[in-house]
Structure 1
């Protein structure tokens, strides 16, 4: 149980790190602006991002 929670937190931390590292490059594209405008939820943006795997 603790291991699975640790893995989940690790994946979340990795996704947030990748998001932080790529936010300036992605935010300059219309793709990010369109998703952010329509959805407004980070989860929707992450699923639509070409920089991250589909969770």
Structure 2
């Protein structure tokens, strides 16, 4: 388990595959990060921007 996961005071984000409801990726307390980038093919997306 991840420390702080599920706590009311901890921000969380999830990428969920809708057809099955499966959680593919989870971010727990990324507030201290300056940027979080997701690359799909040749495109890069800043999730905090």
Q: Same fold (TM over 0.5)?
A: no
TM-score, normalising length from structure 1? Answer: 0.24
Greater relative contact order, per chain length (Cα 8 Å cut-off, separation 6+): 2
* More helix per residue: 1
* More strand per residue: 2
